Amino acid sequence: MIEGAIAAIVTPFNNGRIDEAALRDLIDFQLANGTQGIVPCGTTGESPTLSHSEHERVVEIAVEHVAKRVPVIAGTGSNCTDEAISLTVHARKAGADAALMISPYYNKPTQEGIYRHFEQVAKAVDIPIVVYNIPGRTGSNIEPETMARLAGIDNIIGVKEASGSMKQITDVIAMCPDDFVVVSGEDYLTFPLLCVGGKGVISVVSNAAPRQMADLCNLFFEGRHEESRRLYYKLLPLLHIFFIETNPAPIKAALAMMKKIESEEVRLPLVGMSEANKNRLRKVLEAQGLLGDTK
């Protein structure tokens, strides 16, 4: 279920409201270009600033519009275990194929607290769960030993690993069962992660370059490793430029430049990109051929 380039899709806004038509168009763009999964309501989808009703609506639109063509992995994490259960229950009822759950943020739980949080949600909701480890945002790291414990829970099937540490990634792969899926949460580590046994990426960059990110993974899985490596290095400026300011401001600016969304609007406390960085972004998009044919 979890393999290849999976898009952590943006939530488009227009005048403060979710642009539902644009969201459906973005999903069509992804599926037409080989994306192998859709993640609504992740970090890139601005889940922290969505109301509960908006969060649920975005998941429902994604499930309905994808219509089982690829897996939908709904973001359902929270720093409150009861809230995480509630969001995950909704995702299952809506028809999501799996849930992506960020480690509890701000609270800074111990490793035992992190384990019990995920254990409680997994017991409460019969849905495949992908753990999301991103200590730069949560304030705490899920240690490899804790991940190995979590991998022993039947419906915890994998991890989106965004610690930025190849040592941690390799330790997790080494300590967890062979069927426990490890995917990158950092676009720039996609190729290195594939080389050590990872299964793909939950990608920001796929929003703007779905075909290229899908090809990078597919070439690798086909055994065409040198072609995959060359594509990775060709894309490297793109893999960096989308993170020169806080995600998802740069990717939304790019999608607006590509005429994929009407507005690059983000919700406070996030703000739009500076003009200087927009100019840098435009140059990279032009060099990558993304401001021409973007069907």
Distance CA 72, CA 77 (A): 15
HSE on the CB side for 119, CA within 13 Å? 12
Task: Give the sign of the dihedral formed by CA 220, CA 197, CA 9, CA 288.
Answer: negative
- Residue 200's beta-bridge partner residues? 4
Q: Euclidean distance between the first and final Cα of the chain, in Å?
A: 26
Nearest to 65 by CA among 100, 33, 38, 35: 38
138-142-145 Cα angle (round to 5) = 175
Catalytic, out of 132, 188, 232, 252: 132
159-160-162 Cα angle (round to 5) = 125
Is residue 132 annotated as part of the catalytic site, yes or no? yes
Q: How many CB atoms lie within 10 A of CB 275?
A: 8
**Cα 80 from chain centre:** 21
Is residue 160 annotated as part of the catalytic site, yes or no? yes
Task: Give the sign of the dihedral formed by CA 96, CA 101, CA 102, CA 107.
Answer: positive
Distance CA 73, CA 55 (A): 13
Asked whether 220 and 190 are in contact (CB, 8 A), the reply is no
Task: Give the sign of the dihedral formed by CA 268, CA 65, CA 190, CA 1.
Answer: positive
Nearest to 35 by CA among 155, 294, 210, 197: 210
Catalytic, out of 115, 160, 199, 278: 160
Could you list the active site residues? 132, 160
